[in-house]
Amino acid sequence: MNSLSKLQKQIIDFGNSVEFKELDAYYSQPSIFSALGVSRHENTHSNFLAWLLTPKPEKNDHSLGDTPLRKFLETLALACALPHSAGKLSPELSGAITTGAYTLSNIVVEREKHIGVGRLDIYLEGNISFDGSEYPLTLIIENKVKSHEHDAQTGRYLEALRPPVSRPGIFLSVFLTPLPNREYERLGEPTCEAKEFIELNYQYLADYVITPCRDTAPEGSVKRYLSEYLLALSLPETRQDKGEIIMAISKEERDLLARFWNKHKDLLTAAMLSIGDCVPLEDDEAEVMQKASKALKDAVRRDLSRFSWEFSGRGGVNLPKSRLVLEIVTHYAAENGPLTLAKLKEIFPDELQGGTFGVVAPLPAAAPSNFKGHKRYYTDEAVILSDGPAAVCTQWRADNILKFIAHAEKLGYIISSTGPAC
The three state secondary structure string of 143-188 is: ECCCCCCCCCHHHHHHHHHCCCCCCCCEEEEEEEECCCHHHHCCCC
Residue 174 has pLDDT above 60, yes or no: yes
SS3 category, 19: helix
Q: What is the mean pLDDT of residues 286-311?
A: 68
- pTM higher than 0.75: no
pLDDT band at 55 (very low <50, low <70, confident <90, very high): very high
Q: What is the pLDDT of residue 240?
A: 38
Work out the angle between the directed axes of helices 67-80 and 42-53 (0-180°, nearest 10): 110
What pLDDT, in 10s, does the model give residues 391-405? 999 999 877 888 899
End-to-end Cα, the chain, rounded Å: 37
What is the rounded CA–CA span in Å between residue 51 and residue 60?
9
Q: Which residue has the higher pLDDT, 391 or 303?
A: 391
Residue 347 has pLDDT above 50, yes or no: yes
pLDDT band at 179 (very low <50, low <70, confident <90, very high): confident
What is the rounded CA–CA span in Å between residue 206 and residue 118?
28
Q: What is the pLDDT of residue 272?
A: 66
Tally of residues, the chain: 422
